């Protein structure tokens, strides 16, 4: 129950904040260009709170449905306008001013993303050093020349002090199907080849395909408890058994066991046990458990003890105040381009529409990131903000990008796009948005039900 409250509050805060930032972009530029703003609303539906500003008697509203917002400006197309104020109507402005007002919303989302990444890098994100442990010989990591004990220090020249930083760099290369060079601590360079991978492989499969594995301190994995009627109990595992290997790969730490099971729900594995000095091999079918929007694998055993990882295994991904600005801009640009490329792959059928997420998934991730710490929540805010900026710039009528497209056409032809064309575009835009939202909600509910 407490976790659900955190999820709901984190979601409301995230959406309200990012919508407010987006709409403030429109509002601020409109004010600077002397366009009268009638209402600034965060959310839709019944107003929960409202007040009037001093300038222009603008109404500021906080509404009951926090899934969007709007800035209502004086406009002769939407009602009568007094002659003495007609020069402040939005529709009376030059196409360049209208373009600036509309563009300001998405632009401010990108600016906020840069700020959030900057603050995140200044604070620093702690993670585990990317020092390799046992590697699957069928993985890209092994076939590329990575071996146990190797530490990855950079990917294509970008520093990777933590394993998470490595995955962030590899994800972009994976989506683009381009090869990358990993530099190791001993100055060796190895190449990860993604150009030969099939296009229908999803980003969610990246971790298994690459096969990176952390080097963990050796610790006997001894079972203290076997859950009744679990896959482990069905297979004949007992309290006191030591897990030696899974499918031939050594299990030297409890995290090795978790990693070998969690991403393989429903799959069959062979577990080697040490029981009373005798080695036993048991076939086990991994069980499936729903955790949030994901289905994970479990076999139903608890460890006798788990020793915390030593401090020497952790590193801080952090930059000074000035360098963090550059890194924030680079991060925002790279992820924005990556978002567009991923959308492009979905449109042409090279990626599944299952990658599209809706408000339920966003809520879960928001709650999870809050619980992981302020710096991780900053990362989440930055990613959602730049995603909001990218999506709003798509040339779809109803979105800011659709209006900007009409304004660009107006700049070229010297006159506004006809009302008939705009009406057709509006219908197309509404249809596309309804389809997109339907897919996102369907994916959300499918994840929940599975």
- Catalytic residue numbers, as ranges: 23
Map residue 385 onto helix, strand or coil: helix
Residue 262 near residue 288 (C-beta atoms within 8 A): no
Report the run of H or E that residue 153 belongs to, with start and end: strand 152-155
Distance CA 250, CA 246 (A): 7
Residue 392 near residue 436 (C-beta atoms within 8 A): no
Residue 272 near residue 252 (C-beta atoms within 8 A): no
Structure tokens at 165: 């930083």
Greatest distance between any 2 Cα atoms in the chain: 95
Alpha carbon distance, N-terminus to C-terminus of the chain: 21
Q: What is the CA radius of gyration of the chain?
A: 26
Q: At which residue do the structure tokens 């007094």 appear?
A: 82
| Residue 96 dihedral angles phi and psi, to the nearest 5° | -70, -40
Residue 395 near residue 402 (C-beta atoms within 8 A): yes
Distance CA 26, CA 98 (A): 10
Contacts of 373 (CB under 8 A, 6+ apart): none
Distance CA 31, CA 55 (A): 10
Closest CA to 380 of 186, 125, 30: 125
Closest CA to 362 of 337, 393, 387, 390: 387
Report the run of H or E that residue 183 belongs to, with start and end: strand 180-184
Distance CA 211, CA 450 (A): 26
148: left (phi over 0), alpha (psi -120 to 50) or beta: beta
Closest CA to 179 of 149, 208, 211, 144: 144
Distance of CA 226 to the CA centre of its chain: 35
Distance CA 447, CA 356 (A): 12
């Amino acid at each position: 129950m407490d976790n659900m409250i955190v999820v709901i509050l984190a979601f409301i805060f995230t959406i309200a904040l990012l919508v407010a930032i987006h709409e403030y972009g429109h509002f601020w530029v409109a004010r600077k260009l002397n366009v009268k703003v009638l209402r600034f609303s965060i959310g839709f539906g019944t107003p929960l709170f409202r007040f009037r500003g001093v300038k222009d008697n603008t109404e500021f509203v906080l509404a009951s449905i926090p899934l969007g917002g709007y800035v209502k400006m004086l406009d002769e197309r939407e009602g009568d306008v007094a002659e003495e104020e007609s020069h402040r109507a939005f529709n009376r402005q030059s196409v360049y001013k209208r373009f600036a007002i509309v563009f300001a919303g998405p632009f401010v989302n990108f600016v906020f993303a840069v700020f959030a990444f900057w603050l995140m890098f200044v604070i620093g994100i702690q993670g585990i050093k990317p020092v390799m442990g046992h590697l699957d010989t069928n993985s890209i990591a092994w076939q590329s020349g990575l071996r146990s004990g190797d530490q990855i220090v950079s990917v294509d020249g970008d520093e990777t002090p933590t394993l998470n930083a490595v995955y962030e760099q590899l994800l972009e290369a994976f989506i683009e199907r381009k090869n990358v060079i990993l530099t190791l601590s001993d100055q060796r360079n190895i190449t990860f080849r993604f150009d030969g991978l099939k296009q229908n492989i999803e980003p969610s499969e990246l971790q298994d395909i690459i096969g990176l594995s952390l080097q963990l301190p050796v610790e006997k994995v001894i079972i203290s408890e076997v859950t009744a009627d679990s896959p482990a109990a069905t297979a004949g595992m007992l309290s006191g058994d030591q897990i030696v290997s899974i499918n031939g790969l050594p299990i030297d730490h409890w995290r090795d066991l978790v990693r070998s099971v969690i991403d393989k729900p429903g799959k069959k594995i062979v577990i080697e046990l040490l029981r009373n000095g005798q080695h036993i091999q048991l076939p086990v079918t991994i069980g499936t458990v729903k955790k949030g929007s994901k289905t994970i694998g479990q076999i139903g055993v608890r460890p006798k003890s788990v020793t915390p990882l030593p401090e020497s295994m952790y590193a801080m991904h952090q930059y000074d105040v000035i360098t963090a600005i550059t890194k924030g801009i680079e991060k925002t640009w790279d992820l924005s381009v990556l978002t567009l490329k991923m959308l492009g792959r979905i449109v042409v059928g090279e990626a599944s529409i299952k990658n599209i997420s809706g408000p339920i998934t966003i809520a879960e991730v928001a709650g999870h990131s809050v619980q992981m710490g302020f710096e991780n929540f900053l990362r989440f805010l930055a990613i959602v903000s730049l995603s909001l900026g990218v999506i709003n710039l798509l040339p779809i009528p109803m979105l800011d990008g659709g209006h900007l497209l009409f304004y660009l056409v107006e700049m070229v032809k010297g006159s506004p796009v006809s009302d008939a064309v705009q009406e057709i575009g509006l219908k197309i835009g509404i249809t596309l948005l309804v389809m997109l939202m339907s897919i996102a909600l369907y994916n959300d509910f499918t994840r929940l039900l599975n």
